[in-house]
A = this chain, B = another copy of it.
């Protein structure tokens, strides 16, 4: 099993320095704000997004000040979106910590998200990072569009595979794509290289989200089916595939379970069983590996070096992770 620590080797110093700069970028004159951002900083995530930024920059040229700003920008934005996500999902926990909305209420959480977004902007505007800003604001637009498209489609349960891909491309893959594009752009890569790495990030992001969606059909720590997406009537690839490949009476039965009985643990387990036995997991896994392969293929047009190797490992990490 790949370890993040090993993948980070070529950029270990940069990531350490980045942490300091990131902390600095959140500073405010309002004490409550500093208490909350301190709390956020304690819950260090995997730093996957900054990793994509630094590795992409290394692959295309030199890691420089602009790369740090790109990494801070995407990480501020990502943090803002997580805080807002917890409000919209009414989540009480994140990474084993209480969520901001759980500790300080929704009001504060919405404002903190806006504050972090503004900080990211200011950082880039002051240093005249127009290209980074363009790359990232496009991602912000797509992320909200993707989430809203998902909400819209969740009401009707007859979602098609192409819509599923549009949703995950926008809500998840656009940010990872923008990380890679920011990294490349910060290293003054040619437009063509920036575009290629953006496409690479998009493929990785799609594979990443399929992996996430597959987890929902697994078992939790105590061996119970997870099924959170089903509870929320989110139609993901394994279920979409399974429904497409069954007869119409079985389809009606399963849709009825999702529509009207998704609060019932046993009924959710029934849906999961149906997806498993219809080959839905195998199909989604195959698709995921296909996107992974497309990502690898794009990397092949770049020179072979330690950054490229780490990027390949990072891609593998996203599809092989256990949670």
* Residues on A facing B (Cβ under 8 Å): 28-33, 81, 84, 87-89, 106-108, 110-115, 117-119, 121-122, 125-126, 128, 130, 133-134, 137-138, 140-141, 143-145, 147-149, 151-152
Q: What residues on B are CB-neighbors of A29 within 8 Å?
A: 145
A144 touches B112 (CB 8 A): yes
A88 touches B117 (CB 8 A): no
Sorted nearest first, the 10 A-B pairs with minimum C-beta distance are: A118-B140, A88-B107, A115-B144, A121-B137, A32-B152, A118-B141, A114-B144, A125-B134, A111-B144, A122-B137
Given contacts A106-B106, A110-B113, A111-B147, 5 further A-B contacts (CB under 8 A): A31-B152, A33-B148, A84-B111, A110-B110, A119-B141
Nearest-neighbour CB distance to chain B for A57, whole angstroms, equals: 21
A110 touches B87 (CB 8 A): yes
The listed residue with most B CB atoms (<10 A of its CB), out of A133, A138, A152, is A133
Nearest-neighbour CB distance to chain B for A36, whole angstroms, equals: 8
B111 touches A133 (CB 8 A): no
Complex Cα–Cα for A112 and B110 (A):
12
A32 touches B141 (CB 8 A): no
The listed residue with most B CB atoms (<10 A of its CB), out of A87, A110, A117, A134, is A110
Question: Given A118-B141, A134-B126, do A112 and B148 touch, yes or no (CB 8 Å)?
Answer: yes
Question: Given A122-B141, A133-B125, do A149 and B110 touch, yes or no (CB 8 Å)?
Answer: no
Q: Which residue of B lies closest to A135 (CB)?
A: B125
A148 touches B106 (CB 8 A): no
Question: Given A121-B121, A137-B122, do A115 and B33 touch, yes or no (CB 8 Å)?
Answer: no
| 7 A-B pairs with C-beta separation under 8 A | A30-B145, A87-B110, A88-B111, A114-B140, A117-B117, A122-B138, A126-B134
A145 touches B106 (CB 8 A): no
Q: What residues on B are CB-neighbors of A110 within 8 Å?
A: 84, 87-88, 110, 113
Q: Which residue of B lies closest to A149 (CB)?
A: B30
Q: What residues on B are CB-neighbors of A134 within 8 Å?
A: 122, 125-126
Complex Cα–Cα for A81 and B117 (A):
13
Question: Given A145-B29, A149-B32, do A88 and B115 touch, yes or no (CB 8 Å)?
Answer: no
Q: Which residue of B lies closest to A88 (CB)?
A: B107
Nearest-neighbour CB distance to chain B for A25, whole angstroms, equals: 12
Question: Given A117-B140, A141-B118, A144-B112, do A151 and B88 touch, yes or no (CB 8 Å)?
Answer: no
Complex Cα–Cα for A144 and B114 (A):
7
